[in-house]
């Protein structure tokens, strides 16, 4: 039965609704597949079989009674370990929250449950979403299903690897500076970072509040469309939630490529030759179909990485101050002194990358440096937003490789944080501007590793992203055959 998981999400959804497969059969297929391959991939931190199968049985009973909660009733979806699920551990892949059980559901989880989705918690991640490779987890290193010696991307690497390895058809991740799009690219699947504020952050453990956004992963574009339509919409529990209705999947229509204006970037020596070749293949096919290509000057975006890391680390310093050994997380109190409690709890609870970012953020917020660093970065952020506004006065969409390279080997960049940070060179500016962007498959390199294409649209134009992605999937050389054998 686990063979059915080779089918794209759209086919699984059709089979569920037609009665060809039951929710229990689909859930069991996912469980069997996880048991078969996750010992090598290490995408999941836990697997509550009893809870999953009970939820699937309830879904089957509803369908049998002719009262399904929605067309998605019984569809499995994996959940990243920083999204709260009631009575379930939400550790953010950190020792400091190793035994923390959430007393409530995140808004996105509530919306999934109301539609009958079957939750598969918890997928591995970089600790507190701080990383680009999922090597910063306190518990395990997730591997790329295409090559187990390589990373799947991060910080949502567990969710991306779970979908790419056909363990689940859908997954949720979070994106602060590329943490959905970059792993989607390196794992050969679709991954959407929505417009900031269109998906509630209530119940998402905060890393950088002005940048974080929850979004979907799927093998096909329809999965991202459907999942986004369910989780989007105004939420009174989130002060940053925009006052817009949920996205309607029926609003997506085919994009006419003839006459569409596409913003493109100039290739440089930093980009791997195979990535350049795949990018040029897409652009040539678009041009043949009547698209108008407009080269944009991205020189002002050369500072996007330092701007991002000043703002993100400052916000992380503030957000993670709550994890002090008293209110949340593990507690180490060996001397009975308050200062020692703080130091010992955080020293043991936080990993090296989290400590590094807290220190950077605390420094940039400190007296005498606030204006020079954090204040200046916020001003520069406004300039990036205005630059995007200028771009979108000239073009409809912007196309770039999601990552300048394909997946690198485990351990290759862990000793050089700057090189690791550069993995997000084309994704961070999108978060700084609050725009929607999606990574779609763009082919494979000579080593058989996936290459991703990032498509960016103006705010609230997710429908334009989806329609264009549907047309893009019809071009030659873009579809990627996901790995059937692991290792």
Active site (annotated) includes residue 15: no
Count CA atoms within 13 Å of residue 191 on its CB side.
39
Give the model's confidence band at 485: pLDDT under 50 very low, under 70 low, under 90 confident, else very high.
low
Residue 107 has pLDDT above 70, yes or no: yes
Active site includes 155?
yes
The model's pTM: 0.96
- Give the whole-number percent of the chain exceeding pLDDT 90: 83
Domain 2-257+460-472, CATH among 3.10.20.30, 3.90.550.10, 3.90.1300.10, 3.30.420.40: 3.90.1300.10
pLDDT band at 326 (very low <50, low <70, confident <90, very high): confident
Q: How many CA atoms lie within 13 A of 324 on its CB side?
A: 11
Catalytic residue among 155, 159, 218, 459: 155
Only one residue has tokens 């680009």, namely 132
**CA–CA distance, 280 with 267 (Å, rounded to integer):** 9
For the ranges 17-21, 219-223, 324-328, 394-398, the lowest mean pLDDT is seen at 324-328
Each residue of 403-429: pLDDT tens digit?
A: 999 999 999 988 877 777 777 888 999
Q: Residue 302: pLDDT band by 50, 70, 90 thresholds? A: confident
Closest CA to 479 of 287, 487, 470: 470
Check residue 77 and give its pLDDT.
98
53-57, 147-151, 333-337: least confident range: 333-337
Structure tokens at 227: 């999942």
Over the stretch 152-197, which tens digit does the pLDDT of each residue have?
999 999 999 999 999 999 999 999 999 999 999 999 999 999 999 9
Query: Residue 190 pairs with which residues in a beta bridge?
Result: 218
| Residue range 325-337: mean pLDDT, rounded | 78
pLDDT at 20: 96
Q: Is 7 helix (H, G, I), strand (E, B) or coil?
A: coil
DSSP 452-471: EEEEE-STT-HHHHHHHHHH
User: Quick check: 46 pLDDT over 70?
Assistant: yes
Of 93, 159, 179, 232, the active-site residue reads: 179
Q: 320-353 burial by CB neighbour count: b if 16+ within 10 A, else e?
A: beebbbeebbbebeeeeeeeebeebbbeebbbeb
- Which one of the listed residues 2, 42, 80, 464 is annotated catalytic? 80
């Amino acid at each position: 039965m686990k063979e059915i998981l080779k089918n794209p999400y759209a086919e699984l959804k059709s089979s569920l609704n037609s009665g060809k497969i039951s929710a229990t059969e689909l859930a069991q297929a996912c469980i069997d597949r996880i048991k078969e391959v996750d010992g090598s991939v290490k995408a999941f931190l836990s697997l509550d079989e009893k809870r999953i199968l009970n939820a699937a049985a309830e879904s089957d009973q509803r369908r049998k009674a002719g009262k399904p909660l929605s067309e998605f009733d019984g569809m499995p979806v994996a959940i990243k370990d920083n999204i709260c699920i009631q009575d379930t551990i939400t550790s953010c892949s950190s020792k400091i929250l190793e035994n923390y059980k959430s007393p409530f559901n995140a808004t996105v989880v509530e919306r999934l449950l109301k539609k009958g989705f079957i939750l598969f918690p918890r997928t591995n991640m970089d600790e507190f979403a701080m990383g680009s490779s999922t090597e910063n987890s306190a518990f395990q290193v997730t591997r790329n299903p295409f090559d187990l010696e390589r990373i799947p991307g991060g910080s949502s690497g567990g969710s991306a690897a779970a979908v790419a390895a056909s363990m689940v058809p859908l997954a949720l991740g979070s994106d602060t500076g590329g943490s959905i799009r970059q792993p989607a690219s390196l794992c050969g699947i679709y991954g959407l970072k929505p417009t900031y504020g269109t998906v509630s952050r209530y119940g998402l453990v905060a890393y950088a509040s002005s940048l974080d956004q929850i979004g979907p992963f799927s093998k096909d574009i329809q999965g991202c469309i459907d999942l986004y339509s369910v989780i989007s919409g105004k939420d009174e529990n989130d002060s940053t939630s925009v006052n817009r209705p949920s996205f309607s999947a029926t609003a997506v229509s085919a994009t006419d490529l003839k006459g569409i204006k596409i913003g493109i970037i100039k290739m440089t020596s930093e980009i791997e030759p195979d990535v350049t070749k795949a990018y040029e293949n897409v652009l040539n096919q678009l041009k043949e179909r009547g698209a108008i290509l407009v080269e944009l000057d991205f020189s002002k975006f050369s500072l996007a990485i330092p701007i991002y890391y000043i703002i993100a680390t400052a916000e992380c310093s503030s957000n993670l101050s709550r994890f002090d050994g008293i209110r949340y997380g593990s507690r180490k109190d060996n001397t009975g002194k308050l200062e020692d409690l703080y130091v010992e709890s955080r020293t043991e609870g936080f990993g090296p990358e989290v400590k590094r970012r807290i220190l950077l953020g605390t420094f940039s917020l400190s007296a005498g440096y606030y204006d020079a660093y954090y204040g200046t970065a916020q001003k520069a952020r406004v300039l990036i937003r205005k630059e995007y506004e200028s771009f979108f006065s000239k073009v409809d969409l912007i196309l770039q490789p999601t990552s300048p390279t394909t997946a690198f080997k485990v351990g290759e960049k862990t000793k050089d944080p700057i090189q690791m940070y550069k993995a997000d060179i084309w994704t961070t500016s999108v978060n700084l501007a609050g725009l929607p962007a999606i990574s779609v498959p763009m082919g494979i390199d000579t080593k058989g590793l996936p290459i991703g294409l990032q498509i960016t649209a103006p705010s609230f134009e997710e429908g334009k992203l989806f329609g264009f992605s549907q047309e893009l999937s019809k071009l030659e050389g873009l579809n990627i055959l996901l790995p059937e054998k692991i290792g």
